[in-house]
Chains A and B, each alone.
Chain A
Amino acid sequence: MPIGMNFDVQSPIIPRDGVQAYGFCTRALAARGFSTVGTAEVSVEDEDSSSPMVEHPPRIKFKRPDKTARHIMNILNKEAVDKVRTERTIPDVQPGCIVQMRVQVPENKRRESTLKGIVIARRNAGIATTFRLRRLVAGVGVESVFPLYSPNIKEIKILDRKKVRRAKLYYLRDRMNALKK
């Protein structure tokens, strides 16, 4: 009986509500002698097949994880990050590090400037990973956001690593004491 086979196929999978209802529907419909059982079976299996985790017998085609756009973007991102990492070593800047970095800004002058400050935030986004540096410049607090893998950053040196219990240290904005905290 086609209905019985349908039910056996569904049992090893984690049932979703839509699928389960469909299974019941097909049983009920077939009891009335409807001929839509065949089409219902096909559509139910299509719905199952959209989840790539499920192992199906090969007669049903399913979406390969390699072809999803998210997966491809992840691979591209990782490749870009690896390419930059092989060219120069970038230390692990975490919030709470006091870093000194040499930046070359071609925008105004080609001179290399050294910036020293504390990292108060880090945002992970693959190649666009940024970190936020807070420093005191001539008595005024300045916060800058830099892309970690930017080619303008020539060198990052970690001077000190403070123990912090937070990922984003925005409370330091209200608390600018004289020493370089």
Chain B
Amino acid sequence: MGSVGNNLYGGINSSAETVTRPSHCDAISQQIRTFIQMRTNLKVVDNSGAKRVMCIQSLRGKKGARLGDMIIGSVKEAQPRGKVKKGDVVYGVVVRAAMKKGRSDGSEVQFDDNAIVIVNNKGELIGTRVFGPVPHELRKKKHLKILALAEHIV
């Protein structure tokens, strides 16, 4: 019965976007944003040359990485002339996560996408620019260089 109801709504909406009514099918349309784990695709937001990285290991947390953690990833897509090329195994710091991160004052923050910045295994940046907003959770994790290069600190 529930699926029939969903089909009806899909027919009525029939607009460009595939938005279903959230009030009726919460489990389907609203994803529960979770950790960054193996096989998670992440966007790269610096100018190191890579465009997409797939996480192969989260260096912190049993369930996966969150905002501000380091991961090991494999470069899946890269720009032709860059410091890293396709197939490289790189370390990265998660600067934007779709999973909400709680702050000590009771607020929470979450972004619309997952993004990393490529670093070496000591934590030093490979690229020289960082695009997009970064959270100030990185200050506590001692990634001050990323904060210094960021466009906007959330």
| Contact bitstring A165-179, B, C-beta under 8 A = 1, else 0 | 010101101111000
User: If the complex has contacts A144-B107, A147-B107, are A139 and B132 also in contact, measured as CB distance less than 8 A?
Assistant: yes
How many A-B pairs with Cβ below 8 Å?
A: 72
Is the beta-carbon distance between A168 and B22 smaller than 8 angstroms? Answer: yes
Tell me, in angstroms, the Cα distance from A107 to B109 when the chains sit together.
Answer: 14
Q: B104 within 8 Å of A by Cβ?
A: yes
Is the beta-carbon distance between B111 and A140 smaller than 8 angstroms? Answer: yes
The binding surface of chain B is classed by DSSP as: loop
Tell me, in angstroms, the Cα distance from A140 to B131 when the chains sit together.
Answer: 10
CB-contact partner of A107 in B103, B112, B113, under 8 A: B103
Q: A141 within 8 Å of B by Cβ?
A: yes
Is the beta-carbon distance between A138 and B105 smaller than 8 angstroms? Answer: no
Tally of chain B residues near chain A (CB < 8 A): 27
| B151 neighbours in A (Cβ, 8 Å) | 138
Query: Which residue of the partner chain B has the closest CB to A128?
Result: B106
Q: B12 within 8 Å of A by Cβ?
A: no
Is the beta-carbon distance between A150 and B106 smaller than 8 angstroms? Answer: yes
Docked complex: A149-173 residues within 8 A CB-CB of B: 150, 152, 166, 168, 170-171, 173
| B100 neighbours in A (Cβ, 8 Å) | 143, 145
| A106 neighbours in B (Cβ, 8 Å) | 105
Nearest Cβ on chain B to A147's Cβ, whole angstroms? 5
Query: Which residue of the partner chain A has the closest CB to B31?
Result: A173
Q: A142 within 8 Å of B by Cβ?
A: yes
CB-contact partner of A173 in B112, B133, B153, under 8 A: B112
Is the beta-carbon distance between A152 and B105 smaller than 8 angstroms? Answer: yes
Is the beta-carbon distance between A145 and B107 smaller than 8 angstroms? Answer: yes
| A142 neighbours in B (Cβ, 8 Å) | 109-112, 133, 154
| A171 neighbours in B (Cβ, 8 Å) | 19, 22
Tell me, in angstroms, the Cα distance from A138 to B130 when the chains sit together.
Answer: 12
Query: Which residue of the partner chain B has the closest CB to A172?
Result: B19
The 5 A-B residue pairs with the shortest CB-CB distance, nearest first, are A141-B112, A108-B136, A145-B108, A137-B133, A138-B152
User: Mind listing 16 A-B residue pairs with CB under 8 Å?
Assistant: A107-B103, A109-B136, A137-B152, A137-B154, A139-B132, A142-B109, A144-B108, A145-B109, A147-B107, A150-B105, A150-B106, A150-B107, A152-B105, A171-B19, A175-B19, A176-B112
